[in-house]
A and B are shown apart, each in its own frame.
Chain A
Amino acid sequence: MSVAQGAALQVERVTKAFGGFTAVDDLDLEVPSGSFFALLGPSGCGKTTTLRMVAGLEQPTAGSITIGGRDVTGTRAHQRPVNTVFQSYALFPHLTVGENVAFGLRRRRERDVDRRVAEALELVELGHVADRRPAQLSGGQQQRVALARAVVNRPALLLLDEPLGALDLKLRRQMQLELKRIQDEVGLTFVHVTHDQEEAMTMADTVAVMNHGRIEQLGAPADLYELPRTAFVANFLGQSNLAPGTVVEGPDGHGLLGVDVGGSRVRLPAARAVAAAGRVLVGVRPEKVRILVPGQEPGPGENVLGPGVVTDVSFAGVSTQYRVELTGVGTFGVFAQNLLGGATVAHGAVVRLAWSAQHTFGLSGDEDVAAGAADLDGEP
């Protein structure tokens, strides 16, 4: 247990197979000390298995796990300087809240248990329930007790396994801010597993998007969002408009490729493209796109597609979301800020779409346009 606090995690070439199913496939991961790291992916992508291997609740089939510079591969859960906040909270029903929080400290025969338990409960603003049983608390309170029970041990790594999954949306947003505050306050390294892309982006410094047991892309939330490198990331992290095209012009003086998309010419910065030749997927985020009604012209340096027909208009408070059917290209989504009130374009209108060439990104043409775009509501 002599590992420095906030030590980093290194996962090297880790594979985990259950029978014939490979849950985690040759995974490499490095979590910097003191960071808030999110493992994001759909259910079954291997993120929870990865977390369980780090916690020591599963052993990898191959590869090594290093925590704070110490190789812990093969050691058991109770020997690792790691604590987990479980999705189900897993509070001990036969112990009081205070005894739950004290559990780890008592096992390690630490001193000042009472004071540290009180401090940890204060941190999650539950000092007044120390003598109650977990069953007498609300879901949100239980979640915070589970957090206090982990934080109180000052682990080298704090693992969070979809800890907010069981909470309703409003409480969840509140707890996200709370978790972030606590992480800032205690300065521990947090590794957070979630399938909620918004949660991952709001909370984490670094997000690793996982799919089929591998990491698709890793980086700061804004970087991942602005420049996804795979169709899965483009669709799973926020929404994307992806259209197949072919590179017909090499980079010009401004480093822009010319891509033919359904007969129109679209400009794509070579630096933002995974492939610079042949078939590509041209992508743009819906909020970067604006609608041109007849008579409006694109600005300089803008890509234009269309004309197309508006097939759906939905008002979502801060923005209005349009679906525009572009012949020979596909359906594009457009998010327009409601700066001047509600929708400005009616259902059935014929419009063109424009966006800055600098916001365009390019993916490999071999990818499935719909990868990762599955309905998130289906997630557990």
Chain B
Amino acid sequence: MSLLTGLGAGGAVTAAPTRRPPSRAYWWLLLPGLVYLALFFVVPVGALLGTSLYVPVPGGDVGQYQPAFAVGNYADALAQFWPQLVRSFVFAFLATVVTLVVGYPVAYAIAVRARGRPVLQGLLLVLVVAPFFTSFILRTIAWRQILADDGFVVASLQWLHLLPEGARLTATPFAVVCGLAYNFLPFMILPIYASLERLDPRLVEAGADLYASPMTTFRTVTFPLSLPGVVGGTLLVFIPASGDYVNSSLLGNNTNTAMIGQVVDARFFRLLDYPTAASLSVVLMLAILLLVAAYVRRAGTEELL
């Protein structure tokens, strides 16, 4: 997990070791990875960019396109689908907040409270990743049952008068955000766990020794030192959640819950509208890149080592 938690810690103070010219073996070991990335990332991204500028073949069938330089595709796609794009980021943001609020205490319990009891820690970590043993789709469909109109969640909420009579949870934005948060929760817990696990408990003692109450010590010592994990976790949740289409398809209602991934899916596979799907994909990619860069930069310069 150290790799994941390192994601946000760009400015770490490390003494640069004396540099030696990389040996030949170094390049040979790197080669498979480079070839793989070139074939399965660089080439497809190029193809995607190309496709996003295609135009329909005049008089051709549905799904027939020819190479062009139709920059207007982007304007059209954005004009038509900006609500879904914005919604994707709002849902992803909400899911990130929910996973952080739910996941941080879990990570804290495993890393700090269960410190020194490796069996318990191992067991809890297995429980965190246990949902991965079942199919992603199945688990998401299971949420339909959980949130169903005649399910216990709706009944309990209505009994508590937290939900008005006749209101429902399935096919609502609430259900989609719940699904996103549920599916990505382990990606928040694990990096935070790794950060907290490495936290020197003597620093917490030093905080107490310097008149900081447990809450203040958490605020001024523990939490800032776990920020690399928080940044790593939020990225691991926010990025895939922004592009997710499974949760919005299975738990949403296709009107006020559609996310951009769902649109891309529909355009690509059902309407065979490749240029729009491709340009939306490119826009999504760039938007995530910009958001993440701004976020890492802020987190990296202010609080992190």
Whether A133 lies near B221 (C-beta < 8 A) is no
Check B305 against A107 for contact (C-beta < 8 Å): no
Stretch of B131-139, B160-168, B198-206 that contacts chain A:
B198-206
Q: Using Cβ atoms and an 8 Å threshold, which residues of chain A touch B296?
A: none
B30 contacts the other chain (CB 8 A):
no
Q: Which of A48-105 contact B (CB under 8 A)?
A: 55-57, 76-78, 82-84, 86, 88, 90-94, 103-104
Closest residue of chain A to B220, judged by CB? A103
Contact A86 B206 (CB under 8 A): yes
Pick from A83, A94, A136: contact of B210, CB under 8 Å: A83
Neighbouring A residues of B221 by C-beta, 8 Å: 92
Binding site secondary structure of chain B: helix
**A321 adjacent to chain B (CB < 8 Å):** no
Number of interface residues of A (CB under 8 A): 25
**Known interface pairs A88-B202, A107-B216, A136-B13. Does A78 touch B208 (Cβ–Cβ under 8 Å)?**
yes
Given contacts A90-B205, A92-B221, 18 further A-B contacts (CB under 8 A): A77-B205, A78-B209, A78-B211, A78-B212, A78-B216, A83-B209, A86-B202, A90-B203, A92-B203, A92-B225, A94-B303, A94-B305, A103-B207, A104-B210, A104-B211, A107-B210, A108-B211, A133-B13
* Chain A residues closer than 8 Å to B214, beta-carbon distance: 78
Residue of A nearest to B212 (CB): A107
Q: Which residue of B lies closest to A134 (CB)?
A: B13
Residue contact A90 to B224, C-beta cutoff 8 Å: no
Task: Give the residue among B210, B214, B305 with the most A Cβ atoms within 10 A.
Answer: B210
Known: A133-B13, A135-B13. A90 touches B212 (CB 8 A): no
The tally of CB-CB contacts under 8 A between chains A and B is 69
Q: Which of A76, A82, A103, A149 has the most CB of B within 10 A?
A: A103
Contacts of A92 in B (CB 8 A): 203, 206-207, 221, 225
Measured in the bound complex, the distance between the Cα atoms of B225 and A136 in whole Å is 17
B213 at the interface (CB under 8 A from A): yes
Given known pairs A86-B205, A135-B13, the reply for A78 and B213 (CB within 8 Å) is yes
Residues of chain B with a CB closer than 8 A to A153's CB: 210-211
CA distance A56 to B211 in the complex (A): 11
A94, B225: Cβ atoms under 8 Å?
A: yes
- Nearest B residue to A103 via CB reads B210
Q: In the complex, what residues of A have CB within 8 A of residue B200's CB?
A: 88, 90
Q: Which of A55, A56, A57, A90 has the most CB of B within 10 A?
A: A90
* 6 A–B contacts from the bound complex (CB under 8 Å): A86-B202, A92-B221, A107-B216, A133-B305, A135-B305, A153-B210
Ranked nearest first, the 4 interchain pairs of A and B with the lowest CB-CB distance are: A77-B208, A90-B206, A104-B210, A107-B211
Q: Which positions in A face B, CB cutoff 8 Å?
A: 55-57, 76-78, 82-84, 86, 88, 90-94, 103-104, 107-108, 133, 135-136, 149, 153
User: What's the least CB distance linking B127 to chain A, in Å?
Assistant: 29
> 1/0 per residue B2-16: CB within 8 Å of A?
000000000001000
Give, as a whole number of angstroms, the nearest-CB distance from B112 to chain A. 16
Residues in A with CB closer than 8 Å to B202 are 86, 88, 90
Closest to B205 in A: A57
How far is the CB of A48 from the nearest CB of chain B, in Å? 12
Most chain B C-beta atoms within 10 Å of own C-beta, residue among A78, A83, A93, A149: A78
Which residues in B have their C-beta under 8 angstroms from that of A90?
200, 202-203, 205-206
Whether the pair B209, A55 counts as a contact (CB closer than 8 A) is yes
Contacts of B209 in A (CB 8 A): 55-57, 77-78, 82-84, 86
How many Å lie between the Cα of A57 and that of B303 in the bound state? 28
Q: Contact: B13 with A56, CB < 8 Å?
A: no
Q: Cα distance A135–B224 when bound, in Å?
A: 16
Closest to B223 in A: A94
Known contacts: A90-B200, A92-B221. The answer to whether A57 contacts B210 by CB under 8 A is no
Per the bound structure, the CA–CA distance linking A82 and B206 in Å amounts to 11
By beta carbon, the residue of chain B nearest A135 is B13
Minimum distance in angstroms from B172 CB to a CB of chain A: 41
In the bound assembly, the distance between CA atoms of A93 and B216 in angstroms comes to 17
**What separation, in Å, do the CA atoms of A77 and B208 have in the docked complex?**
6
**Smallest Cβ-Cβ distance to B12: which chain A residue:** A135
Complex interface: chain B residues within 8 A of A107 (CB): 210-212, 216
